Structure formats: C-alpha cells, structure tokens
Amino acid sequence: MAVCVAVIAKENYPLYIRSIPTENELKFHYMVHTSLDVVDEKISAMGKALVDQRELYLGLLYPTEDYKVYGYVTNSKVKFVMVVDSSNTALRDNEIRSMFRKLHNSYTDVMCNPFYNPGDHIQSRAPAAPLMAVSVRRAFDSMVTSMMIQVC
Amino acid sequence: MEAAAGGGCGSGPPLLLSEGEQQCYSELFARCAGAAGGGPGSGPPEAARAVPGAVTAAAGPVADLFRASQLPAETLHQITELCGAKRVGYFGPTQFYIALKLIAAAQSGLPVRIESLKCELPLPRFMMSKTDADIRFGNPAELHGAKVQIPYLITEKNTFKRMDDEDKQQETQSPTMSPLASPPSSPPHYQRVPLSHGYSKLRSSTEQMHPAPYEARQPLVQPEGPSSGAPGAKPPRHQASLIRSFSVEREPHDNNSNYPDEPWRITEEQREYYVNQFRSLQPDPSSFISGSVAKNFFTKSKLSIPELSYIWELSDADCDGALTLPEFCAAFHLIVARKNGYPLPEGLPPTLQPEYLQAAFPKPKRECTLFDSYSESMPANQQPRDLNRMEKLSIKDMADFPVPAQDVTSDDKQALKSTADEALPKDMSEDPATSKDSNSLKARPRSRSYSSTSIEEAMKRGEDPPTPPPRPQKTHSRASSLDLNKVFQPSVPATKSGLLPPPPALPPRPCPSQSEQASEAEIHPQLNRAPSQAADSSPTKKDIPYSQPPSKPIRRKLRPENPAPESQEPSSTVGGAASAVTGKPHTAVQKQSSKQKKAIQTAIRKNKEANAVLARLNSELQQQLKEVHQERIALENQLEQLRPVTVL
C-alpha cells in the first residue's frame, strides 16, 4: 500500500528511498522531493514551540490525484516520507502512524550501529561482500517491503 | 582401568577392554539392543537373524552399525564370524564387544584376527548418522589421535578421507568446510579442522552426548598422549585437550539443548580473553561499552567497515548502541572467526546469543560449575595455543603497526645511545631525582614491553592500543618534572584523545628478568642519587611516586623491586632510602662520579624510551591520518554526487 518510502536526512538529501517497482519511479522521487517543502513548512509552523512539544507525525502533507503523501519527522530532523495510493481508502491515520513508528524504530536500530556513519545511505547490502547482508539494514529494508506489500 | 569382558565367550581369548572402550561399547550395545528393529537389514545375513532375549543386540541396528563403520562387506563378515555371533546366532554383549573391537582393529589397519583384540585400539568409527554417538566420539578422536601419532599414520588419510566424505554427505557449512577440507598442513588449519569436523558431526546428530563417549575419549586420549613422542609431548596433549574441551563443551550443552554450530562456540580460554579485553575497555564487567569505544576497538581488527557493521548488528542484540559483556564476547568471537576465514553467519548463532553466553559462563573460571570444572580439566596449554594462534592471527593484524613500532623503538634505543650525551647534562641539571624516578618507573614498563618479542607480547600489545587512555594518562599526570612534561607533551593529547595509547602499563608478565634487573640497577643508583642531590625533598618526592595509588606499571614496578633488591648490591640502600636519608649524603657524595655516569645512562635510556613512544605515536597517528583522509575522500565523493541533486 505504501507506494514509496523515503528517509531524508537533515540536510534534505535522501538517505534511503524506495518505491514499488513501476515504470517511472522518478515521479515518486519528485513527489518526495516536493513534499520536503511542505515538511519544512510544517516544522517551522510548529517550530516556535520546543521540539518535544512538536508532534513527530506530520500527517497528510498533500494529496494528489492518485497519491497521498504523509510525513513524519524525527527529533534529529530526519524526515520520513511515505507515498500511498489514494485508492486505499481503508488506510486510516492510525495505520499510517503505526507504519511511521515502525519505520522510526527500524531507523534507530540502524543508527545504533556505531559503524554506521550518520549520513550514509542505508543500504541493505554492503558492496563487494556477498554474504555481508547487513542485518539491521536488511531488517529496515524488509520492513519497508512489508509496508509496501501489505495490501489493504 | 581395564575390565575383562563380561559374559563367557566360549572361544577366543578374554576380551580386555579399557574402561572407555567398555563404556562406549556398552553404550552402543544398549543402543542396538534398544533400537527396535532398526533399518533395513541388508548386512551380513547372519546378523540379520532375529535375536531373542533382551540382552542381545538387535540385528538390524547392529548391521547398520557395522555398515556405518565403512569396512568392506567381507571384513564385516569376517568380524561377525570371529566374534562368535555367527556361531551362536546372535549378538550377545560379548560378541558385540568383540565385533566392535575388531572393527576398530580393521579401521586401524590391523588384520581382523583374535590377536588384534589384545591391542590397544582407538574406538571404532561409524559413519552413519543413526549411530551418532559413534560418529561423535569416533571421528574427532580418531582424527586428532591419528593425526599426531606415528602408529596411526596409516589411518590418518583414511580418517581424513572419511571426514571429507562425511562432510560432503552431511552438507554442513560448505563454505566453512571448503577452506578446511584439505588435509591440514599447518597447525592453525589443523586447529580449525577438528573444530569444523567435529562440529559438523554434531550438526548432523540429534541426540545428546552420552557421558560414555566423553570418558571413552579420556582413556583413549591418555594412551595416545604418552605414546606420541615424536611430534612432541605437547601437540598430542593439545589434541587430547582439544578433544576433551570440545567434548566437554558439547556435552553439557548438548545435554541441555543441541547447538550444532560449534565454530561459534566460545571456549573458556577465549572467554577469558574476551573478558579481559572488555575490562580493558570498561572496568565494570556488568556495565557496557559505548558504541564509539567499541568501534575504535574493533576497527583495530582491520576488518572492513561493512563487515564490522554487520558483526555489530549481529551481536548487539538489543540494538542499544552499546555492548554488554556477552554481546562484546559475541562480537569479538565473530571478529576472530572472520579473521580466521569463517564466513559470517546470517544470524547470530545460538551459542553466541547473550542469554546463552551469560548462562554458559556465569562465573569466573575457578568456580566449580559443571562447565567450569570440565574446562578446568582442560589443560590450558592447548586451548591458549590454538586460540592464541587464532587470535594472534587476528591480533597480529591489530598489532600491525605497534609491532613495527617496536622494531623501530629497539633501533631507536641503539641510535639514542650515541646522541643522548648532549642531552644529558641538560637533563642532569634540570630534573630532580623524582623526575628520573618517575621517568624510569614509567619507562620501565615500556622498556619491558619493547624489549620483549614474544608473540604473546605482540598479541597483548596489539590489544593495547585500544586500552583506554586513563592508564597512560595517570602516568603522565603523575609526572611532576618539567622534563617529563616536555618529553611527553606531544603524546599526551594524542593519548588523551584515546587514539592509540602506547602500552606502557600492560605487559608485566613477560618482563624479561634482565631488563628488570637492569632497571633495578637503574633505580637503585637513582635512589642513591636522590638523597645526594636533594637531601630533604627528594626522599619525600621519591616516595610520592611509590606511594601514590600508582598505575599498574608502577605498582608492578614496586613488586619486583621489593623482592629484587636483595639480589642487588645497593639493596640495603633501597630499603633504607626512605628512612635513612640522613645517612645517605656522605656516602653518596663519595660515589658522585659513578652515580653521574649512571645518571647519564638513565637519562639516555629515558630519552630512548621517550623517542620510542613518540615514534609509536607517530606511526599510529599516521595511520589515523590515512584513515581520516580516506573518510574525507569518501565524504567528498558523496558530496559531489549529491550536489547536482540539491541544485534542482
């Protein structure tokens, strides 16, 4: 149901972006990119208050004809953006929240690895290491996959 | 230890079995007797006859067992004939035992005859997975025993071939097997072979280990031990202890639950080592190591960052960014395994999981738990030897740059001898005795560490770079003299940054006696000089370095100093230095010139050591610089890649 999931770093470059394999995946990338403006807007609107009081879940960023884009920002200004298909009417806000929460948890697991440099891409497979499927990142990946595969 | 075979065997000599064989055979017999029916009885037709009574082994399992021994059919026929089963029509205990012994004989290459029964033979080997106990005890024991001993050289290839076949059959970790399946040519490979082979057997087996095989192995091992003179006493004992340790490790664990992945099992010796390393990073064993500290430490292992990242993810089970002691042991073990060529597992093996590790090694080694008592019986020489080999392989990599630094330092020492003279008068004038004392105190452990060249030294030193800064910091901070600060100022920030502190503190054990005595001689003239130069203040100052809560090198320095002085000629002065200060000056004044010479030598040594430290630090910093450069390049690449994106 999630058509595209992206993790954007604080400096607004993507740490991880993955969409379901369709043609023209680039449009998802574009949508995520444009949604960053909306995210920044929402952050700054709430930004007067302290970070703790700011809600992590940003809710629906903007709807398009086919898709809806939801956002979530962590305390370290890492943004999660999720694009879902509009035809999934059964998808409720709570579900989106839970999905983001899971994403956040997986992300923190990846972060906890001291060998992960903040700002690295979250790849699930280390280069030139056939068996070195990095497990936590793989878990991250697989979790994202599960979000995408889940058919509502 | 030997017991005559029970029951009457009408023909043939009484069967003398060692206790181990007795137990093993009885085990097998019970198994065969207990097994109902067994598999297809395509064995020797005589054996296939149904057997009456509870004390006889069922024909089916017996046939399977015999077939599992991989002897040719006619040999098996011969054996059954000889053992009397053919005659009496069933496999009673006697017949069974005789048959087993004959199988062992046949497998050892001895002719199948009654006379063979009299020989001391290894236990028979059985290939089939059903007869797991046999495989378990037979094969590893055979492998080890055969490997080492000359009489069993013939069987060596056989066993090894069988092992290989088994491996292929059982399809155990094929990546693990492949580097190790070739006949071992070097001890490290050899050490790995029993690991993998023995454990691969275990992997295929499903039952628990019986006490019999373990004890069977013991007597098996004991006769093997003394009989192998040529390779040296130690290797067979090592193999024996290796076997024992593996059996020990497998046995209690398997009684609880079956963990087939033996390369991932941490032995006691490894555990001790890991715990020591943990303590060097974090004194409190119940607390944890932070991610950055662990990262620095594991980076020393020279594994690639993705691999280390993977290992971290495997071992940090709770994903908290910190390693508790079991997590640390698991991570370290994985690193060591990786350095030795084992591919990393897909998931954390059960033997490395924190709960398991905590349960398996709850107490220090000396206490009498089931595991610990067994592991105590394990002679330490083998375990540390092969593990040291394994770890030295890894630690040697870690010790790469300290080791060349040591060579550098030894060269530096010689070079310094000539150049130190001009520095000396300055030293003499500037530093009070205390500086020399603390210098020599501080320098002494360094001299010890540098002068020693043993592999354990290298290993420890390899591990030392990750030791925490506090230790050298203490020595630095205690240095009260200007000279000392000048000398060590460049190194202090580096050490404080925790990069790669030199190992001044750590290796007291292998301190060679001559360096000690030399340093003893050094400190004594210093002590003598101390009162001579500054009568009142020096003793107190001199005492301060001794009496302060010293870091370990100084403490260790005190210890050898205290007993050693008796052997030295100014011994009385050492003892009396603190107290009989007033008596010193006039005696010291007389020996001024000789003391000056000694002072010069001391200063030379001190400078040499300082140079050595700086050289080491330099090399370490160079390494760091290289790494940072690489990181920078990577970052710049990343930036370049991203820049066009953000321009949009």
Angle at A32 between CA A27 and CA A36, to 5 degrees: 145
Q: Are A132 and B320 within 8 A, CB to CB?
A: no
Nearest Cβ partner for B321 among A114, A126, A131: A114
Question: Does residue B553 have a pLDDT over 70?
Answer: no
pLDDT at position B260 = 53
Weakest-pLDDT range from A139-148, B272-281, B627-636: A139-148
pLDDT tens for B589-633 read 677 888 999 999 999 999 999 999 999 999 999 999 999 999 999
How would you class A48 by CB atoms within 10 Å of its CB: exposed for 0-12, middle for 13-18, buried for 19 or more?
Answer: exposed
Q: Are A135 and B646 within 8 A, CB to CB?
A: no
Residues in chain A closer than 8 A to B294 (CB atoms): 114
Question: Does residue B273 have a pLDDT over 70?
Answer: yes
pLDDT tens for B470-512 read 444 444 444 444 554 455 454 444 444 444 444 444 444 544 4
CATH number of B268-359: 1.10.238.10
Is 2.40.30.60 the CATH classification of the domain at B12-34+55-128? no
Q: Are B308 and A115 within 8 A, CB to CB?
A: yes
Question: Does residue A138 have a pLDDT over 80?
Answer: no
Q: Are A131 and B346 within 8 A, CB to CB?
A: yes
pLDDT at position B322 = 80
Angle at B230 between CA B225 and CA B234, to 5 degrees: 45
Mean pLDDT of chain B: 58
DSSP B515-568: HHHHHHHHHHHHHHHHHHHSTTHHHHHHHHHHHS---HHHHHHHHHHTTGGGGS
Question: Does residue B352 have a pLDDT over 60?
Answer: yes
pLDDT at position B403 = 43
How sure is the predictor about B56, in pLDDT bands with cuts at 50, 70 and 90?
A: low
* Distance between CA atoms of residues B324 and B275, nearest Å: 11
**What is the pLDDT averaged over residues B635-648?**
81
pLDDT at position B127 = 62
Q: Are A113 and B344 within 8 A, CB to CB?
A: no
Domains B12-34+55-128 and B268-359 share a fold: yes
Residue A110: both structure tokens together: 């990846």
ipTM: 0.77
Q: Provide the β-strand partners of residue A14.
A: A8
The residues, any chain, with a CB within 8 Å of residue B88's CB and separated by 6 or more, are: B10, B95
A125 Cα to chain B: minimum distance (Å): 9
Q: Are B309 and A116 within 8 A, CB to CB?
A: yes
pLDDT at position B611 = 95
Domain segments of chain B as ranges: 12-34+55-128, 268-359
* Distance between CA atoms of residues B103 and B22, nearest Å: 15
A61 Cα to chain B: minimum distance (Å): 21
Nearest Cβ partner for B642 among A13, A112, A133: A13
pLDDT at position B626 = 95
Residues in chain B closer than 8 A to A133 (CB atoms): 310, 346
Radius of gyration of chain B (CA): 32
A135 Cα to chain B: minimum distance (Å): 6
How sure is the predictor about A100, in pLDDT bands with cuts at 50, 70 and 90?
A: confident
Q: List % helix, strand, coil for chain A (3-state, nearest 5).
A: 35, 25, 40
Q: Are B309 and A115 within 8 A, CB to CB?
A: yes
DSSP A107-152: HHHHHH-TTSPTTS---SB-TT-TT-B-HHHHHHHHHHHHHHH---
Q: Are B309 and A113 within 8 A, CB to CB?
A: yes
* pLDDT over 70 percentage in chain B: 33
Weakest-pLDDT range from A71-80, B98-107, B463-472: B463-472
**Whole-model pTM over 0.80:** no
Residues of B with CB under 8 A from a CB of A: 291-292, 294-295, 304-310, 312-314, 316, 319-321, 343-344, 346-347, 638, 642, 645-646, 648
Residues in chain A closer than 8 A to B633 (CB atoms): none
Number of residues that this document lists for chain B: 648
Q: Are B319 and A109 within 8 A, CB to CB?
A: yes
pLDDT at position A90 = 64
